[in-house]
């Protein structure tokens, strides 16, 4: 076989690049949580969250998984924690960000997923922020009190690539907009 043929075949069987992304809902003041829970009830956004994360590995902190209350179906859950324990059987334990990414990469390859989702909380988003390539942000049109915040989205680092207008469905406690950002530079 020629070298050109082998190189072409390897390009065609090599798995697609896997992007590291964040999926987050945050208030106008960047608040994402209060006392281990979300400070709003927005069922329409939970449907979007499901669509964005289905079939993908998700990295989250132990407290975030505890606040969810269960493993989410159709997704691999990697828990980054110092405690050495996961709250639910079936979650995968990671002690460092690099270990979490390594486990998530194996999960992504097994599912042929194109993204690894960073799913919170605030400390976890901050740990991975410099590695994120894309942000899927639900903008909650209120500024609730809270004890967990999402990092500042610097327009010199992340470019907005799409936006959906603000809406509030009947069962939602607040109106929301939705924006997608992609990394264009390193954080200074």
Per residue in 77-121, pLDDT (tens digit) is 999 999 988 889 999 999 999 999 999 999 999 999 999 999 999
Other CB atoms within 10 A of residue 64 CB: 25
Label residue 107 left, alpha or beta by phi (over 0 means left) and psi (-120 to 50 means alpha).
Answer: alpha
The answer to whether the predicted template modeling score (pTM) of the entire model surpasses 0.85 is yes
For 38, the domain range is 16-183
4 inside domain: no
Would you say 28 and 140 are in contact if contact means Cβ atoms under 8 Å apart?
A: yes
Give the alpha-carbon dihedral of 57, 61, 67, 70, to 10 degrees: 40
Distance CA 140, CA 151 (A): 15
167 inside domain: yes
Summarised one tens digit per residue, pLDDT across range 9-44 is: 444 444 458 999 999 999 999 999 999 899 999 999
What does the block give as tokens for 34? 């209060």
11 inside domain: no
| pLDDT beyond 50 at 56 | yes
pLDDT at 12: 47
| pLDDT beyond 80 at 146 | yes
92 inside domain: yes
123 inside domain: yes
87 inside domain: yes
Distance CA 62, CA 67 (A): 9
The pLDDT mean for the chain works out to 91
Would you say 187 and 128 are in contact if contact means Cβ atoms under 8 Å apart?
A: no
pLDDT at 110: 93
113 inside domain: yes
Would you say 24 and 120 are in contact if contact means Cβ atoms under 8 Å apart?
A: yes
CATH number, domain containing residue 146: 3.40.430.10
114: Cβ contacts below 8 Å, ≥ 6 apart: 16, 17, 18, 19, 108
Residue holding tokens 């859950």? Answer: 77
| pLDDT beyond 60 at 1 | no
151 inside domain: yes
| pLDDT beyond 80 at 2 | no
- Domain total of the chain: 1
pLDDT at 166: 84
pLDDT at 13: 43
When comparing pLDDT for 135 and 2, which is higher? 135
């Amino acid at each position: 076989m020629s070298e050109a043929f082998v190189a072409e075949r390897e390009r065609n069987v090599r798995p697609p690049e896997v992007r590291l992304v964040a999926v987050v809902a945050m208030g106008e003041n960047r608040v994402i949580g209060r006392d281990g829970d979300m400070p709003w009830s927005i069922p329409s956004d939970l449907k979007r969250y499901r669509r964005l994360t289905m079939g993908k590995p998700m990295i989250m902190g132990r407290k975030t998984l505890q606040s969810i209350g269960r493993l989410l179906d159709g997704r691999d859950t990697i828990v980054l924690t110092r405690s050495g324990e996961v709250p639910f059987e079936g979650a995968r334990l990671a002690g460092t960000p690099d270990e979490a990414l390594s486990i998530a990469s194996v999960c992504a390859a097994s599912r042929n997923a194109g993204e690894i989702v960073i799913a919170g909380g605030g400390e976890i988003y901050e740990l991975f922020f410099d590695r994120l390539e894309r942000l899927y942000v639900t903008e909650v049109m209120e500024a609730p009190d809270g004890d967990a915040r999402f990092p500042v989205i610097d327009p010199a680092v992340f470019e907005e690539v799409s936006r959906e207008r603000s809406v509030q469905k009947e069962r939602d406690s607040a109106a929301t907009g939705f924006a997608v950002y992609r990394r264009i530079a390193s954080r200074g």
